Amino acid sequence: MKQLILLLFILIFSLKAFPQVSDPKDPVRFVPGELIVQLNMSAPVLQQDATLLCQAFQGTGLAVKKLLSARLQIWLLSFDTDSVEQHAMLEAIKLHSRVNAAQFNHFVTFREVIPDDPYFPDQWALMNTGQLGGTPNADIDATRAWEITTGGMTSLGDTIVLAIVDQGFDVNQVDIHYWKNYQEIPSNGIDDDMNGYIDDYDGWNSYASNGQIPVNNHGTHVAGIAGAIGNNGTGVTGVNWNVQIMPVATPPGDEARVVEAYGYVLEMRARYNDTDGEEGAFVVATNASFGVDQGDPDDYPIWGAIYDSLGMLGVLSVGATANANWNIDQVGDIPTAFPSDFLITVTNTNPSDLKFSPAAWGPVTIDLGSPGYMIRSTISNNQFDYKSGTSMSAPFVTGAIGLIFSAADEATMQANRIKPDSIALVFKSYILNSVDKLVSLDSITLTEGRLNLYKTLLLQQGEPILQQEPVTIEVEAAPDSQTYAGLVLFNRGNSTAHYTIWTDPPVSWLPFDQTNDSVEASCMHSVRLTVVTEGLGPGGDYYTDLYLSYENDQSIKVPVHLFVNPFISVEDTEPDPGATIRIYPNPSTDRTWLAIDLKKDTRVEIEMNDMSGRRIWNLPQQTLNSGSHLFRWDGHQSGGQIATGFYICMIRLDYQLITRKIIRY
């Protein structure tokens, strides 16, 4: 009775105790009029238990909405918010003797940071939902990376600058935060900061050797990919939301202009290092979306050495490879064939995670892939448009470098001031060791993968990141047999990865003895896969995808291809020098010809067997004269046309048995 009086007291005075005033700064965090209630678990759950609870609160509209867990006796209840204030209802429910726990039904959101820029839904490279007919999630995972940082400043307060070396820029584009040299007075004809460059307030134009930046769509587009202002309700979103872009213009011309352009960047970062940030700019990366097709690095020693010089100051450089389906390892390229450790080289991937066909590659020279097809970004006159090419791929990686610097802790950034070259190389390793491995880049890039921004930042934080070898599993096995395949997992992080493994679609031929395991930090681990072909038929191709999920909602997808080969144990044999045998066409859809050339009279017998060993056609033994003989098999047996499949042709020449594999499809 005392409890009932207390409940009524709470409900009667609820409007005074909990006034129904909404605070615009404190948005509603739960479903109005719903409670999640767990009853005491002293007895089996009964519908009437929840019903009786509701009856105890007559006048509130309390009712059972759904049973959430029978074993835990958890119910979803609803009530009338016009009859009782929500917090009062919750407190009253908590006091009931039958209730073990009660709470509001809170809203839950996926932890993705979605900017409000109007064209962000078009930016598939940052979040791929299937735009342009692509594959969902074939992106750099930017929205989850932004949970960690959106870029702009280091933990020690350094303003991060990305130097974009390109044809020109619209420095008035409102969606890009362009760096300014505030120690320089613009257009006064004086080198105010005495850095060797006159009027470089906006940056530098190496073609004209002045501070007048020419307007160009290409450079503006590239700059926006790396650092368009994010979440400002305007245009597009860059990899970094708040980074500063240093425009360095080098319109088409000679190599000397390129050297001058990089020289400007080097000077500004060197001054920053020398003056503890009082002068210059904290440039952490350069971006080059230009080059010399099929150039030999030996002919460009000065250009190539600049990347090492920049690297010693703590600057990583990114180069876009050629827009042609060339193997750069063989044909060369400038700058992406330069061997500098401080250079990251990039090719182009499309919305389906395929290498864009007119994009170069190289298992030694090209480090990784990055989105570069139909990329929407900033252009001149505050407009936004699509462009494609490796030029668009590189700035995603350049932007990633900027984001890494903004996520680094104070200890790392203190170390960066002492050994900037070493920290730069560590940051490069984060990018290369966190890619999503792709079948389309298998064996054609160094990492065999595409940039993943989120995994890069997780790796930087010491979280486990798994990478696999091989990228895709190919298995060949005989019918009704058992064989094994291997997968090696590398944990690139500094903590243990606990993974779960499964296939989708599930297949009988790839069972698992154990579905959960772990890989220690900075270690490798072998996964043994048992392949069973029993019941799969005489031969054919079978496919599935192997998935591994682990910490931080990360996953790996490994395509698996099984080829059941009925001929795996059958070796083609060659006749003695006294004869030659040719079978054509093979495979065939209709008739098959057997050509036998004999140098002497020979007893010949031919028969065709299916994979069960059953003879389906034969040419009885007969003596053939020396010379050429042609036989035709129409794919018939007694009883009609035979099925497509695998067959063995057995040819006996005197006492020698010759075997040949034949495929009909």
The CA distance from 291 to 418, in Å, is 33
**What is the predicted pLDDT for the residue at 110?**
52
Q: State residue 13's pLDDT score.
A: 39
Determine what percent of the chain is predicted with pLDDT higher than 70.
Answer: 92
Q: Domain check: are 194 and 124 in the same one?
A: yes
At 486, the pLDDT band (50, 70, 90 cuts) reads: very high
Name the residue range of residue 595's domain: 579-664
Query: Residue 256, Cβ neighbours under 10 Å: how many?
Result: 13
Lookup: tokens for 164:
């974009």
Mean pLDDT confidence for 162-175 = 97
Residue 74: both structure tokens together:
């958890």
Q: Confidence class of residue 636 from pLDDT cuts 50, 70 and 90?
A: low
Quick check: is 574 in a domain? no
Q: Nearest Cα to 165, choosing from 201, 205, 211, 195?
A: 205
Mean pLDDT within 225-254: 95
What pLDDT, on a 0 to 100 scale, did the predictor assign at position 113? 83
Stretch among 60-69, 410-419, 425-434 having the lowest mean pLDDT: 60-69
Q: What is the pLDDT of residues 201-220, one digit of tens each?
A: 999 999 999 999 999 999 99
Distance CA 68, CA 61 (A): 20
Average pLDDT over every residue of 455-480: 95
DSSP SS3 for 391: helix
Taking residues 532-555, what's their average pLDDT?
91
Q: Specify whether 554 is located in the same domain as 596.
A: no
Q: What per-residue string of b and e applies to 490-514 under the rule 16 or more CB within 10 Å gives b?
A: bbbbeeebebebebeeebebbeeee
pLDDT at 638 over 60: no
Q: Are 49 and 39 in contact (CB under 8 A)?
A: yes
The pLDDT, as a whole number, for residue 514 is 66
Within 51-108, strands assigned E span 63-69, 74-78, 99-106
How confident is the model over 389-412, as a mean pLDDT? 98
What is the token pair recorded at 269?
């970062």
Alpha carbons 570 and 611: distance in angstroms, whole number: 11
| 632 and 511 housed in the same domain | no
Using pLDDT thresholds of 50, 70 and 90, give the confidence band for residue 363: very high
pLDDT of residue 42: 65
Is position 114 within any domain? no
Say how far apart CA 447 and CA 467 lie, in whole Å: 10
Task: Give pLDDT, residue 227.
Answer: 98
Task: Give 521-525 contacts, CB < 8 A, sequence gap 24+.
Answer: 521/464, 521/491, 521/493, 521/494, 521/495, 521/496, 522/491, 522/492, 522/493, 522/494, 523/490, 523/491, 524/488, 524/489, 524/490, 524/491, 525/488, 525/489, 525/491
Which CATH number does the domain housing residue 22 bear? Answer: 3.30.70.80
Q: Which of 491, 477, 504 is nearest to 558 (CA)?
A: 504
Q: Per the structure block, which two tokens stand in for 125?
A: 């490279």
In a domain? residue 599: yes
Q: Model-level pTM greater than 0.85?
A: no
Checking if the pLDDT of 2 tops 50, the result is no
Q: Is residue 115 part of a domain?
A: no
Are 278 and 422 contained in the same domain? yes
Regarding whether 412 and 525 lie in a shared domain, the answer is: no
Q: What is the pLDDT of residue 252?
A: 76
520 and 615 in a single domain? The answer is no
**Of 564, 593, 614, which marks where a domain is finished?**
564
Q: What is the CATH number of the domain that holds 429?
A: 3.40.50.200
Q: Are residues 389 and 474 in the same domain?
A: no
Residue 113 placed within a domain: no
Residue 640 confidence class, pLDDT cut points 50, 70, 90: low
- 462: CB partners within 8 A, 6+ apart: 493, 494, 495
End-to-end CA, the chain: 84
Number of domains composing the chain: 4
| Among 84, 392, 366, CA closest to 217 | 392
Q: Are residues 501 and 608 in the same domain?
A: no
- The pLDDT assigned to 134 comes to 95
Residue 12 sits in the same domain as residue 156: no
Degrees to nearest 5, angle at CA 580 with 578 and 586? 165
Identify which has the larger pLDDT, 655 or 12: 655
In a domain, 570, yes or no: no
Quote the pLDDT of residue 569: 65
Phi, psi of 122 (to 5 degrees): -85, -10
Predicted pLDDT at 587: 85
Q: Cβ distance 249 to 166 under 8 Å?
A: yes
- pLDDT above 90 covers a percentage of the chain that reads 75
pLDDT band (50, 70, 90) for residue 30: confident
Q: Please state, as a whole number, how many other Cβ atoms lie within 10 Å of the Cβ of residue 457.
A: 25
Task: Give 235's pLDDT tier (boundaries 50, 70, 90).
Answer: very high
Q: Are residues 408 and 495 in the same domain?
A: no
Indicate if the pLDDT at residue 16 is higher than 70: no
Where does the pLDDT of residue 648 fall: very low under 50, low under 70, confident under 90, or very high at 90 and above? confident
Helix axes 390-407, 420-432, angle to 10 degrees: 120
Does some domain include residue 297? yes
The residue from 74, 106, 138 where one domain ends is: 106
Residue 26 pLDDT > 90: no
Give the residues across from 329 on adjacent strands. Answer: none
Which one of 537, 564, 591 terminates a domain? Answer: 564
Residue-level pLDDT at 661 = 83
Q: Are residues 394 and 516 in the same domain?
A: no
Q: What is the pLDDT of residue 499?
A: 95
Which CATH number characterizes residue 544's domain? 2.60.40.10
Residue 637, pLDDT above cutoff 80: no
Report, as an integer, the average pLDDT of 338-362: 97
C-alpha distance from residue 123 to each of 4, 111, 268, 457, 462 (Å): 58, 19, 32, 21, 29
**Residue 27, pLDDT score:** 52
Q: How confident is the model at residue 107 (pLDDT cuts 50, 70, 90)?
A: confident
Residues 45-70 have pLDDT tens digits of 566 678 889 999 989 999 999 888 88
Mark whether 236 and 379 lie in a shared domain: yes
Query: What does pLDDT average to over the chain?
Result: 90
Q: Tell whether 93 is covered by a domain.
A: yes
Residue 22 scores a pLDDT above 50: no
